[in-house]
Amino acid sequence: MFERVIDDFAQFFQVSQWTVKICMMQLGFTEFEGSYCGS
């Protein structure tokens, strides 16, 4: 589920999946910590 959220945000904001994951963790969403960040 979190992988889908990461993919959707990355496409919407035209940034990398890694960037989305880091930003979400900085905002306090610790659920994203172990999520896949593939290409």
Consecutive 10-residue averages of pLDDT for the chain (39 residues): 90 95 90 68
Note the pTM of the prediction, 2 decimals. 0.75
Residue type, 37: C
Q: What is the spatial distance between Cα 6 and Cα 37, in angstroms, rounded to a whole number?
A: 8
Tokens of 36: 């896949």
pLDDT of residue 34: 73
Domain ranges of the chain: 2-26
